[in-house]
């Protein structure tokens, strides 16, 4: 779990990497940044064609690292026994996800309907379901605070989870002093997690990549009202120890941040523009991001977030470019998430259907490598 030293990584590096990939693929007469179809990877003709150019086709996200956060199918995890014919509860839903092809699970709570067992399921029973289906728990969204942290780590280890985290920010304010205090706490909790063989991580929404208030005139409470241009979570990167504190980038919310958080007021009261690039927030520190939420969206400027959530591979986000550029393919784990996947009573199978479609699209992302 040691972290490589952060390196300077610029937009030029992205262009250089893309140009290098384009040169290799172009020379081989192959499509650039294209998602392969099963025929591309499986046909004898294409394998022979690949050998002739000294290339091979590999999955961009290895099958063992393709996961799902159960929040996407929360409607079926929490469903009581019904006559819909759609799986419900941990035992049936996890079996279906394994059948689809998922190898990893990220938890978003440990409860199901008590109508299934006549009581609440236990972490030990959930672990057996994971093991029976060949599934591994790669993370969990739980409450991270000093009072309950040991108990939460006990549950995580019962489930075989290696990464323990939260779906919220370490602090919900814009002020530097609050992020300093959060960094002190998280460094301590992360040290305790590491001692038990766990990684502590936090997950972002768009606000995490809004601008820190750290300069300029003070308000009535003595708080700064303007920004140096530093973004909240990127400040937190530098204030936390890379040995102890890790991150899960929600790719959808990162692109929402790119859309929403473009301007800030500097210390002199001037409006400044700064564009956020999700790729460039990961590329200098790829080993601080063991987990990703592979969440897709279609651009829609008619809605406040500028994007609508859709199943993975059905939107506008260029996951091929994203994962290819950040590298460290074997280290990164991609968990599909779609907050809007549940279909309710009118479409009880929708979230599991979206899970299947998203898995197929994720598995068809490929990368060309020299042999």
Q: Is residue 271 part of a domain?
A: yes
* CA dist., res. 263 & res. 299, Å (int): 20
Asked whether the predicted pLDDT for residue 280 surpasses 80, the reply is yes
Range of the domain at 291: 55-370
Q: Is residue 22 part of a domain?
A: no
What's the CATH number where 218 sits?
A: 3.20.20.150
Q: Which residue has the tokens 């728990």?
A: 137
The pLDDT of 136-164, averaged and rounded, is 97
CA distances from residue 271 to 77, 209, 214, 218, 305 in whole angstroms, order as listed: 47, 17, 15, 18, 21
> Which of helix, strand or coil describes residue 298?
strand
User: In 10 A of CB 5, how many CB atoms?
Assistant: 8
The pLDDT of 36-44, averaged and rounded, is 37
* CA dist., res. 330 & res. 315, Å (int): 25
Q: Is residue 12 part of a domain?
A: no
Nearest CA-CA partner of 59 in 30, 25, 35: 35
CA distances from residue 339 to 173, 288, 302, 309 in whole angstroms, order as listed: 24, 24, 19, 8
Nearest CA-CA partner of 34 in 358, 252, 321: 321
Q: Is residue 135 part of a domain?
A: yes
- Please write the tens of the pLDDT for every residue from 101-146: 999 999 999 999 999 999 999 999 999 999 999 999 999 999 999 9
Q: Is residue 193 part of a domain?
A: yes
Q: Is residue 76 part of a domain?
A: yes
Q: Is residue 309 part of a domain?
A: yes
* CA dist., res. 142 & res. 167, Å (int): 7
Considering its fold, how many domains does the chain have in total?
Answer: 1
Q: Is residue 23 part of a domain?
A: no
- Please write the tens of the pLDDT for every residue from 17-28: 444 444 443 444
């Amino acid at each position: 779990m040691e972290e490589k030293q952060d390196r300077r990584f610029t937009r030029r590096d992205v262009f250089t990497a893309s140009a290098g990939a384009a040169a290799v693929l172009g020379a081989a007469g192959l499509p650039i940044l294209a998602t392969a179809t099963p025929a591309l990877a499986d046909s004898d003709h294409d394998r022979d064609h690949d050998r002739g150019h000294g290339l091979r086709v590999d999955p961009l996200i290895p099958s063992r690292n393709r996961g799902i956060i159960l929040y996407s199918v929360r409607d079926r995890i929490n469903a009581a026994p019904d006559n819909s014919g759609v799986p419900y509860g941990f035992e049936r839903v996890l079996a279906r996800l394994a059948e689809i092809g998922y190898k990893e699970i990220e938890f978003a709570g440990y409860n199901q309907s008590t109508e299934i067992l006549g009581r609440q399921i236990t972490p030990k029973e959930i672990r057996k379901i994971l093991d029976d289906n060949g599934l591994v728990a790669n993370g969990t969204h739980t409450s991270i605070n000093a009072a309950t942290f040991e108990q939460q780590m006990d549950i995580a280890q019962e489930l075989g989870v290696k990464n323990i985290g939260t779906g919220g920010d370490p602090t919900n304010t814009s002020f530097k002093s609050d992020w300093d205090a959060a960094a002190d706490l998280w460094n301590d909790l992360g040290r305790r997690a590491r001692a038990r063989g766990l990684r502590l991580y936090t997950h972002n929404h768009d606000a995490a990549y809004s601008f820190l208030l750290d300069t300029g005139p003070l308000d009535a409470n003595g708080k700064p009202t303007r920004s140096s241009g530093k973004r909240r979570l990127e400040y937190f990167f530098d204030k936390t120890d890379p040995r102890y504190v890790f991150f899960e980038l929600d790719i959808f919310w990162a692109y929402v941040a790119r859309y929403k958080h473009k301007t800030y007021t500097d210390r002199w009261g001037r409006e400044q523009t700064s564009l956020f690039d999700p790729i460039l927030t990961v590329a200098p520190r790829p080993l601080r991001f063991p987990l990703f939420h592979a969440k897709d969206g279609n651009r829609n400027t008619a809605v406040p977030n500028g994007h609508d959530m859709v199943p993975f591979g059905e939107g506008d986000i260029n996951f091929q470019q994203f994962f290819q550029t950040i590298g460290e393919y074997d280290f990164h784990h991609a968990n599909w998430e779609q907050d809007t996947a549940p279909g309710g009573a009118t479409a009880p199978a929708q979230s599991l259907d979206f899970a299947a479609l998203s898995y197929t699209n994720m598995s068809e992302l490929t990368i060309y490598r020299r042999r």
